[in-house]
Amino acid sequence: MSFKYKMQESARSKKSPLVLALDFPFEPADNRNNILIKAQKILKAVYPYICAVKINHHLTLPLGTFDGVTNLVEQIRREGMLAIMDAKVNDIGATNQIIAEYYFAAGFDAIIANPFVGWEEGMKPLFDVAKHLNRGVILLTYMSHKGAVEGYGQTVIDPLTGEQIPQYVSFARRAAQWGADGVVVGATRPEKIAEIKSILQGKAAIYSPGVGVQGGGAEAAVRAGADYLIVGREITMASDPAEAAQRLLYSIKKY
Cβ neighbour number for residue 112 with a 10 Å cutoff:
21
Residue ranges covered by each domain of the chain = 3-253
Quick one: pLDDT at residue 174? Answer: 95
| 88 classed as catalytic | yes
Quick one: pLDDT at residue 255? Answer: 65
pLDDT beneath 70: ranges in the chain: 212-216, 255
Quick one: pLDDT at residue 152? Answer: 85
Mean pLDDT, rounded, of the chain? 93
pLDDT digits (tens, 9 = 90+) for 45-79: 999 999 999 999 999 999 999 989 999 999 999 99
Q: What is the DSSP string of 176-188?
A: HHHT-SEEEE-TT
Q: What is the pTM of this model?
A: 0.95
Quick one: pLDDT at residue 159? Answer: 80
Provide, rounded to the nearest whole percent, the portion of the chain with pLDDT above 70: 98
Quick one: pLDDT at residue 30? Answer: 79
Quick one: pLDDT at residue 213? Answer: 61
pLDDT digits (tens, 9 = 90+) for 147-178: 888 888 899 998 878 899 999 999 999 999 99
Task: Work out the burial of residue 88: count CB atoms within 10 Å of its CB; fewer than 13 is exposed, 13-18 middle, 19 or more buried.
Answer: middle
Instruction: Please identify which of the residues 88, 146, 203, 254 carries the catalytic annotation.
Output: 88
Instruction: Please give the CATH architecture assigned to the domain spanning 3-253.
Output: Alpha-Beta Barrel (3.20)
78/75 Cα distance (integer angstroms) = 5
